[in-house]
Amino acid sequence: MSDESVYQQIILDHYKHPQHRGLPDEFDTQVHHVNPTCGDEVTLRLRLAGDTVADLGWEGEGCSISQASTSVMSDLVVGKSVDDALALQAKFLDLMQSQGHAELTELDEDELEDAVAFEGVSKYPARVKCALLGWMAMKSAVAEARLLSEGNNS
Amino acid sequence: MSFDVEAVRKDFPILSREVHGVPLVYLDSANSAQKPQVVIDAEADLYANHYANVARAVHTLGSEVTHAYEGARDKVAAFLNAPSRDEVIFTRNITEALNLLAYSLSNATSFPGAEKFKLGPGDEIVVTEMEHHSNIVPWQQLAQRTGATFRWIPLTDDGRLVDEAIDEVINERTKVVSFVYQSNALGTINPVKRIVARAKAVGALSIVDAAQAAPHLPLDVQDLGADFVAFTGHKLYGPSGVGVLWGRYDLLAELPPFLGGGEMIETVDMTGSTFAAPPHRFEAGTPMIAQAVALGTAVDYVTDLGIENIHDHEHAITGYALEALASIPDLRIIGPADNVDRGATIAFALKGVHPHDVAQLLDEHGIAVRAGHHCARPVCVRYGIPATTRASFGVYTTTDEIDALVSGVRRVQEMFA
């Protein structure tokens, strides 16, 4: 397989061996996101402990890009602070909107870890939504969970 | 005359380009066909040498361009074996042709003398479950506007219409039957004459969506017997932006217009307007002049190759591809598996691999196929799949390209194994 391929080995590995797949019984919030062009779907549950993403699990179906990206995202954000998780989401969103012209610094690459493998996807507008599906679901879930905890504290 | 595919390929400049460093294998002609040099030249020549607006200028260019535009109408009329050139209406595409009919029919509610076209509660509009969205949505909207009921003829497991349902769903309440000649999602060729005969027997209008049929099958409107037949230019090796609606003259003459504007009128007063005779009654505003002229050239190109020769070539390619794809394990063909009453479009599902992954990986090897629901989502719902991968063929498709597809699909399977 060429380096040019969208289908980097990391993506295929995550697709075949998805991380954090399965819906945990204990959760603060559940969201369901779909990508109407591909019919990709993801259901995601998330639990916060204070300001940290304590647990996250998901179920989904769809193309390898959507499923692998959700897996990579899960690996990256569990255990991170909410702010760090959202900052990483913003960084990944930038990468996906770069249309193949991203200039990642070493620091970016260190932070994005396996998510760097999706750089090639950014050249294909039709597939960008696939790669973002799980990340957008995580962002909504975090926002909902935060609202919930603010409500409980007030 | 035998069909020389290698000679035909030389007519299409795009076929000599590379994609990702390998020669392009274009298997997406059902989506849109590539253009021969003569069609590209025809459009450029009109702009370079003859361009002005049609039908209104008295100067030389105006006369030349009108001659070219109306000449294209003559060519299309001959291609369809239409009894009259005035039965050929240029539209933007087939979607517009079908919407033109749906809106003209609903305009009949308040148009003097158009009572026979009026629909209302208790009337039924019939399509099939294998229609493209462009032959579903306009009729659902018409039903909503008029209170008529929207119905459809269901599909069998192997991608054909349930034969008994044709006589049952089309009944004395039916006012409109609109159906596809050859399915874009399944490749199925429908029994047009049987459905038209049933529509006639109950006094319903019959409309044939010939978008996929026009490039592959002889299209003789007198032989088919339908009231309306529509197709689009870009699938017939013509430019994008032009389609055709053919209709029986007596119906077109009584049908209320759809779009109002210039060139579709007889006379305009501030107190009211009267309308031109067909076809101009349905061609409001400046039309797609260069595109229509180049569509005329595309019709000439197809006619010169011979639609029978084209059909034989594509039928052979389809048979070859069906056999080759059937040899791949875990590949399920969605649509008729035999090469009888089916056209040069093959949709399939690959176990464990999403069609978008199949299409993207094939693209990395220069092979262009379509993945998705092909604007016929109810077909995917019927067969319980989110989407399919679709390979479709044209005058330039070779068995080598089918071999490339098959080895490409096997490579995809290996990667995802």
Is there a single domain that holds both residue B102 and residue B149?
Answer: yes
Band of pLDDT at residue B364, cut at 50, 70 and 90 = very high
Q: Which tens digit of pLDDT belongs to each residue from A20-35?
A: 999 999 999 999 999 8
| Chain B contact probe: residue of A12, A63, A129 with most B CBs at under 10 A | A63
- Report the pLDDT averaged over residues A34-49: 89
- Report the pLDDT averaged over residues B30-47: 98
| Residue B75 domain flag | yes
The CATH number of the domain holding residue B339 is: 3.90.1150.10
In this predicted structure, what is the pLDDT of residue A153?
67
- Report the pLDDT averaged over residues B26-49: 98
Which residues of B are catalytic, by number? 375
Q: Which tens digit of pLDDT belongs to each residue from B153-196?
A: 999 999 999 999 999 999 999 999 999 999 999 999 999 999 99
Is there a single domain that holds both residue B220 and residue B280?
Answer: yes
| B386: nearest CB among A15, A39, A126 | A39
Domain boundary among B303, B327, B349: B303
B372 touches chain A (CB under 8 A): yes
Domain boundary among B303, B333, B351: B303
In this predicted structure, what is the pLDDT of residue B417?
86
| A127: nearest CB among B360, B364, B386 | B360
In this predicted structure, what is the pLDDT of residue A3?
58
B51 touches chain A (CB under 8 A): no
Is there a single domain that holds both residue B296 and residue B330?
Answer: no
- Report the pLDDT averaged over residues B84-97: 98
Is there a single domain that holds both residue B265 and residue B134?
Answer: yes
B360 touches chain A (CB under 8 A): yes
Number of domain units in chain B: 2
Is there a single domain that holds both residue B265 and residue B118?
Answer: yes
Q: Which tens digit of pLDDT belongs to each residue from B228-279?
A: 999 999 999 999 999 999 999 999 999 999 999 998 999 999 999 999 999 9
Residue type, B368: A
A12 touches chain B (CB under 8 A): yes
A39 touches chain B (CB under 8 A): yes
Residues 74-103 of A with CB under 8 A from B: none
A120 touches chain B (CB under 8 A): no
B101 three-state secondary structure: helix
In this predicted structure, what is the pLDDT of residue B82?
98
- Report the pLDDT averaged over residues B380-402: 95
Cβ-Cβ contacts under 8 Å, B387 against chain A: 38-39
CA distance B354 to chain A (A): 5
Beta-carbon separation of B387 and A62 below 8 A: no
Write down all domains in chain A, each with its CATH number in brackets. Answer: 9-148 (3.90.1010.10)
Cβ-Cβ contacts under 8 Å, B20 against chain A: 4
Is there a single domain that holds both residue B94 and residue B117?
Answer: yes
Structural domain containing residue B177? 40-303
The pLDDT of residue A79 is above 90? yes
Is there a single domain that holds both residue B12 and residue B96?
Answer: no
| B20: nearest CB among A4, A62, A64 | A4
The CATH number of the domain holding residue B199 is: 3.40.640.10
Kindly report the number of other CB atoms within 10 A of residue A103's CB atom. Answer: 6
Nearest CA in chain B to A40: B386
The per-residue pLDDT of chain A, averaged, comes to: 92
In this predicted structure, what is the pLDDT of residue A2?
52
Is there a single domain that holds both residue B245 and residue B314?
Answer: no
ipTM value greater than 0.90:
no
Is there a single domain that holds both residue B355 and residue B235?
Answer: no
Of the listed ranges A23-27, A99-103, B5-9, B277-281, the one predicted with least confidence: A99-103
Is there a single domain that holds both residue B271 and residue B324?
Answer: no
CA quadruple B234, B239, B243, B246: dihedral positive or negative? negative
**How do beta strands A40-49 and A29-35 pair?**
antiparallel
Cβ-Cβ contacts under 8 Å, A4 against chain B: 20, 364
- The answer for residues whose C-beta is within 8 angstroms of residue B107's C-beta and 6 or more apart is B114, B256, B257, B258
φ/ψ (deg, to 5) at B38: -60, -35
Is 0.90 topped by the overall pTM?
A: yes
B352 touches chain A (CB under 8 A): no
Kindly report the number of other CB atoms within 10 A of residue B44's CB atom. Answer: 12
B359 touches chain A (CB under 8 A): no
Q: Which tens digit of pLDDT belongs to each residue from B10-27?
A: 999 999 999 999 999 999
Q: Which tens digit of pLDDT belongs to each residue from B115-130?
A: 999 999 999 999 999 9
| Residue B181 domain flag | yes
Domain boundary among B303, B321, B354: B303
The per-residue pLDDT of chain B, averaged, comes to: 96
Is there a single domain that holds both residue B323 and residue B382?
Answer: yes
Residue type, B248: R
CA distance B184 to chain A (A): 18
In this predicted structure, what is the pLDDT of residue B409?
98
| A38: nearest CB among B353, B356, B415 | B356
The pLDDT of residue B281 is above 70? yes
Across B74-110, b (16+ Cβ under 10 Å) vs e yields ebbbebbebeeebbbbbbbbbbbbbbbbbbbbbbbee
The pLDDT of residue B42 is above 70? yes
Is there a single domain that holds both residue B223 and residue B365?
Answer: no
- The answer for residues whose C-beta is within 8 angstroms of residue B112's C-beta and 6 or more apart is none
d(CA B177, CA B406): 39
Nearest CA in chain A to B364: A5
| Residue B328 domain flag | yes
E strand intervals along B233-312:
243-247, 265-269, 272-275
| Residue B35 domain flag | no
